[in-house]
Amino acid sequence: MTESLLLFAIAIALAWPLGLYLARVMRGAPMRGDAVFGVIEKPIYALLGVRPQRGMSWRGYALAFLASNLVVGLLAWFVFMTQAWLPFNPDGIPNLRWDTALHTMVSFLTNTNQQHYSGQAQLSYLSQMTGIVGLQVVTPMMGLALVVATLRALLGGRAIARSSDALPASDAIGHAMPEPTMARQGGLPSQPEHGVDVGNYWADVVRPTVRFLLPLCLLWTLLLSWQGVPSTLSAGAVATPIDATAGMNEQKIPVGPVAAMVAIKQLGSNGGGWYGPNSSVPLENPTPLSNFIELLGIVLIPMSVVFMVGTFIGRRRFTALVFGCMLAMSALSTTASLWSEGHSASSASAALMEGKEVRLGVDASALWSSVTTQVNNGSVNAMHDSLAPLTGAVAMVNMLVNAIWGGVGCGLQQFIVYLLLSVFLAGLMTGRTPELFGRKIEAGEVRLLALLVLLQPLVLLGFTAVTLALPQFTGNSNPGFHGISQVFYEYTSAFANNGSGFEGLGDATYWWNLTCALVLALGRYPALIVPLIVAARMAGKRHAPESAGSLKIETPTFALTLIAVVLVLTVLQFMPALVLGPIADHLSTAGAAALPSITSQSLAVS
């Protein structure tokens, strides 16, 4: 518990100033580093052939997002399927099979990093550095760009979001000056031809990548290299096993530029590790301090995005609402995981120590499993298949919510979905017009949000049912209650763009690769684009100034209402699946653990 408190205290202390800085980056305000960063950014814009000052409607923004995903996805797929013939392959690793390459591409393109391969054995250095790390850098910033565009639309467009009235007093004067990304006439961004201006997609991706994410990654890479994480382009060393009965004459120790990948996998809510067992491998996570640094990296940027919001939209109390709700759900989740793993009835089973890294301990494993699923990170320092059943249930609920902290950008985007639904329901219950930031939420917007909410159970329960009904495709290592958990967890992780898994599952098959690739895409793109559409529809409506009759959302009462809506839409909606899987698994495991004690007591009495 001490480590948990220390983790969140340090994360909050660092995320607050980072969030203020990120708000300035995303507003395009003049900054002291413009001369330095401009040297990097201008050639990128020239290469892309775009004008960063040009405004976009939601359609243009969404199309740019989809087009960029298509291009970088195809390039990554090509690298994975031709890596045997490309440079930086000193270990002679062969090409990935087409379906594994497809799943890997979609997985990293959706900021999920679900791995149906073992990285150190099946990917070359070039594949790791370009197809993997490259996607790990750009995809979280794409999610951030979409949520920033949504916030602009909720306020009525970029012109209103940028106005001095929407800025803190300390920024108002400086922001009135012409910016580097503005058009020269009038000092204003050029407007889109149709619809409200939600910003420029390319600028919203490039600026935070260059000015925010990459400097943090460099710092984290140095910290991890200091702790002993490998950082080399040389081939792995060859060692002679001490135990001659192992059946191996020699063993190759896989290394590579691991530290850089671990830095971005943690900071970018990615999760996919250099090694198959991820951060449970001593080479990827060698010390208790490296374990803490990697844990801190998981939550740092998602928290920073939350602190960015208030400054970005000029409503500090709105940050308090978002942060308070997320922190309350995070505290509940973390406490439940620590209790379940260390003190629940099933935690006494000796079988649960299989798959745990004893040098880190049970509490560190439980804390990581909770944090990595609160954020859609998915990295692990213990095998989730070996968690206590109720700890696995907590991880599943975290991913079903997918907005406790969530991924970079996409977590806040999912929170906005819950927020809009909560405003609509609270308005109906109190007899007030449902509106957010002075704009009404009407039937058309609610229909779009309802489709998004219904998509989750249709996909998760549908694919889980079909897979369990076809044992030749299931591939689970336990056909009982735990087997249900394995299948449901895999699809839940894919849809939540988390990437962790119950690794007793034989998922390197055509069925799992192709179905999970589809689920990955369904969990990513509608969740990012539909809220943008809803916000753009609201931006086209007449703005009504807030009055005494307006619904107050920045209050503890509304925060509790919002959390209740989240629980109804996730926990209660999936309760049958949770009962059949982890809860039944807990009862059977606890019963098996208690049976020897009961038997011995009966013999003593007799």
User: How does pLDDT run across 469-525, given as a tens digit for each residue?
Assistant: 988 888 777 778 888 999 999 999 999 999 888 877 788 889 999 999 999 999 999
CA–CA gap between residue 319 and residue 324 (Å, rounded): 8
pLDDT for residue 180 = 35
Using DSSP, state whether 505 is helix, strand or coil. coil
Amino acid identity at 374: Q
How much is the CA Rg of the chain, to the nearest whole Å? 24
Q: Which of 109, 105, 133 is nearest to 117 (CA)?
A: 105
Do the beta carbons of residue 83 and residue 126 sit within 8 Å? yes
Banded pLDDT at 109 (limits 50, 70, 90): very high
Q: What is the mean pLDDT of the chain?
A: 85
CA 59 to chain CA mean position, Å: 24
User: How does pLDDT run across 336-380, given as a tens digit for each residue?
Assistant: 999 988 887 776 666 667 777 777 888 888 999 999 999 989 898
CA–CA gap between residue 424 and residue 449 (Å, rounded): 11
CA 76 to chain CA mean position, Å: 20
Using DSSP, state whether 377 is helix, strand or coil. coil
As a whole number, mean pLDDT of residues 14-32 equals 91
Using DSSP, state whether 547 is helix, strand or coil. coil
Banded pLDDT at 594 (limits 50, 70, 90): low
Beta pairing, strands 439-440 & 435-436:
antiparallel
Residue 125 has pLDDT above 80, yes or no: yes
User: How does pLDDT run across 254-291, given as a tens digit for each residue?
Assistant: 788 889 889 999 999 898 777 878 888 888 899 999 99
pLDDT for residue 173 = 32
Greatest Cα pair distance in the chain: 96
pLDDT for residue 507 = 82
CA–CA gap between residue 11 and residue 297 (Å, rounded): 9
Kindly compute the dihedral angle of the four CA atoms of residues 68, 218, 323, 196, in this order, to the nearest 10 degrees. Answer: -30
User: How does pLDDT run across 379-395, given as a tens digit for each residue?
Assistant: 988 888 888 889 999 99
Banded pLDDT at 99 (limits 50, 70, 90): very high
Residue 601 has pLDDT above 60, yes or no: no
User: How does pLDDT run across 242-256, given as a tens digit for each residue?
Assistant: 777 777 777 778 788
pLDDT for residue 511 = 93
CA–CA gap between residue 209 and residue 229 (Å, rounded): 24
Amino acid identity at 38: G
As a whole number, mean pLDDT of residues 130-148 equals 93
Residue 414 has pLDDT above 60, yes or no: yes
Amino acid identity at 136: Q
Residue with tokens 């405003």: 423
Q: How many other β-carbons are positioned within 10 Å of the β-carbon of residue 434? A: 20
CA–CA gap between residue 245 and residue 227 (Å, rounded): 33
User: How does pLDDT run across 519-575, given as a tens digit for each residue?
Assistant: 999 999 999 999 999 999 988 888 877 777 678 888 899 999 999 999 998 888 899
Do the beta carbons of residue 269 and residue 140 sit within 8 Å? yes
Using DSSP, state whether 98 is helix, strand or coil. helix
CA–CA gap between residue 335 and residue 144 (Å, rounded): 29
Amino acid identity at 77: W
Do the beta carbons of residue 286 and residue 228 sit within 8 Å? yes
Residue 161 has pLDDT above 70, yes or no: no
User: How does pLDDT run across 432-479, given as a tens digit for each residue?
Assistant: 778 888 888 888 899 999 999 999 999 999 999 999 998 888 877 777
Residue 598 has pLDDT above 60, yes or no: no
Do the beta carbons of residue 414 and residue 527 sit within 8 Å? yes
Do the beta carbons of residue 288 and residue 160 sit within 8 Å? no
User: How does pLDDT run across 59-82, given as a tens digit for each residue?
Assistant: 999 999 999 999 999 999 999 999
456: tokens are 């989750």
Residue 166 has pLDDT above 50, yes or no: no
Amino acid identity at 210: V
Please return the burial class of 394, using the count of CB atoms within 10 Å of its CB with bins 0-12, 13-18 and 19+. Answer: buried
pLDDT for residue 183 = 39
Please return the burial class of 103, using the count of CB atoms within 10 Å of its CB with bins 0-12, 13-18 and 19+. Answer: buried
User: What b/e sequence results for 317-342 when a residue is b if at least 16 CB atoms lie within 10 Å of its CB, and e otherwise?
Assistant: ebbbbbbebbbebbeebbebbbbbbb
What Å distances lie between residue 604 and 92, 143, 592, 597, 598, CA to CA? 63, 63, 19, 11, 10
pLDDT for residue 354 = 75
CA–CA gap between residue 311 and residue 294 (Å, rounded): 27
Provide, rounded to the nearest whole percent, the portion of the chain with pLDDT above 90: 50
Banded pLDDT at 140 (limits 50, 70, 90): very high
pLDDT for residue 592 = 65
Do the beta carbons of residue 570 and residue 329 sit within 8 Å? no
Provide, rounded to the nearest whole percent, the portion of the chain with pLDDT above 70: 89
As a whole number, mean pLDDT of residues 104-125 equals 87
User: How does pLDDT run across 205-234, given as a tens digit for each residue?
Assistant: 999 999 999 999 999 999 999 999 988 877
Do the beta carbons of residue 209 and residue 141 sit within 8 Å? yes
pLDDT for residue 186 = 39
Please give the backbone phi and psi of residue 115, each rounded to the nearest 5 degrees, phi first.
Answer: -115, 120
Segment holding 436, helix H or strand E = strand 435-436
Segment holding 251, helix H or strand E = strand 251-253
495: tokens are 């849809």
SS (H, E, C) 217-249: HHHHHHHHHHCCCCCCCCCCEEECCCCHHHCCC
